[in-house]
């Protein structure tokens, strides 16, 4: 047509492909699915810790995908499906924001466990066999717990290990920068602990304002202006 040559539709259809038009695929890549539904996905797994008396303890952790926040952690010497189900119930707590639970194919995640979690409104997703990268966020947090906490001390008992993790998890959630969050933290502190006095004569948000520092994980005074004298 650009050359000014007219062709009949019959001539054009003669050279068109005989194959039917391609249809878009209905499935998604695993990484794409995790990225699109990260807000409603939680992942869980166990890690093994050896005490000073060479006793094996199992730490169960649950983490949110989008915020990277550790929402539950507990210790036991004898893990079972019933104990794991109770931990997941405490982690989910009938909250509607969780849509998917991601775990591996360990035998401890029994069929009745997945069915009980499904009755809470959470769909269970199982990672492919021998594919740790399919649940990379869970693997990452387990490595972080070892490198930054458990590699620096040897627990004496289950209660000792539980108290150690209980004191370390607030640091992980509120004080430790996360690269995936842009050097932020899963639970940032309040950005304005001292509201501005409307009669002080200063602009709103400047007087006595405290801003969270995502790099240091703490609070610092950005402005420190004394209120106007009466």
Q: What is the pLDDT of residue 166?
A: 94
- The yes-or-no verdict on residue 228 having pLDDT over 50 is no
SS3 199: coil
pLDDT band at 26 (very low <50, low <70, confident <90, very high): low
Q: What is the pLDDT of residue 192?
A: 46
Backbone angles phi, psi at 73, to 5 degrees: -160, 135
Write out pLDDT tens, residues 201-227: 444 444 333 344 433 344 333 333 333
Residues 6 or more apart from 15 whose CB is under 8 A from it? none
Q: What is the pLDDT of residue 191?
A: 55
- Give the domain ranges of the chain: 31-181, 189-230
* Residue 131 DSSP class: -
Domain 31-181, classified CATH 1.10.3720.10, yes or no:
no
Write out pLDDT tens, residues 29-88: 888 888 888 889 999 999 999 999 999 999 999 999 988 999 999 999 999 999 999 999
Q: What is the pLDDT of residue 60?
A: 97
Backbone angles phi, psi at 24, to 5 degrees: -65, 145
Write out pLDDT tens, residues 170-203: 999 988 888 777 777 787 766 544 444 544 444 4
> Torsion angle of alpha carbons 75, 79, 82, 86, nearest 10°?
10
Q: Which of 47, 23, 27 is nearest to 36 (CA)?
A: 27
Q: What is the pLDDT of residue 1?
A: 65
């Amino acid at each position: 047509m650009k050359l000014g040559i007219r062709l009949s539709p019959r001539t054009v259809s003669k050279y068109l492909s005989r194959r039917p038009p391609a249809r878009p695929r209905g499935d998604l890549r695993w990484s794409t699915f995790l990225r699109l539904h990260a807000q409603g996905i939680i992942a869980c797994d166990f890690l093994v810790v050896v005490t000073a008396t060479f006793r094996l303890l199992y730490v169960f952790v649950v983490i949110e995908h989008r915020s990277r926040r550790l929402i539950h952690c507990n210790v036991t010497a004898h893990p079972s499906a019933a104990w794991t189900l109770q931990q997941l119930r405490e982690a989910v707590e009938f909250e509607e924001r969780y849509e998917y639970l991601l775990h591996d194919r360990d035998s401890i995640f029994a069929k009745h466990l997945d069915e009980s979690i499904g009755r809470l409104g959470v769909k269970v997703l199982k990672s492919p066999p021998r594919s740790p990268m399919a649940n990379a966020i869970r693997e990452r947090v387990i490595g972080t717990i070892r490198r930054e906490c458990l590699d620096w001390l040897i627990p004496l008992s289950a209660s000792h290990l539980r108290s150690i993790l209980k004191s370390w998890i607030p640091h992980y959630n509120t004080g430790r920068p996360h690269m995936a969050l842009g050097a932020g933290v899963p639970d940032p502190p309040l950005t304005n602990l001292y509201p501005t006095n409307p009669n002080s004569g200063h602009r709103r948000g400047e007087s006595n304002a405290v801003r969270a520092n995502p790099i240091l994980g703490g609070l610092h005074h950005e402005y420190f202006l004394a209120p106007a004298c009466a």
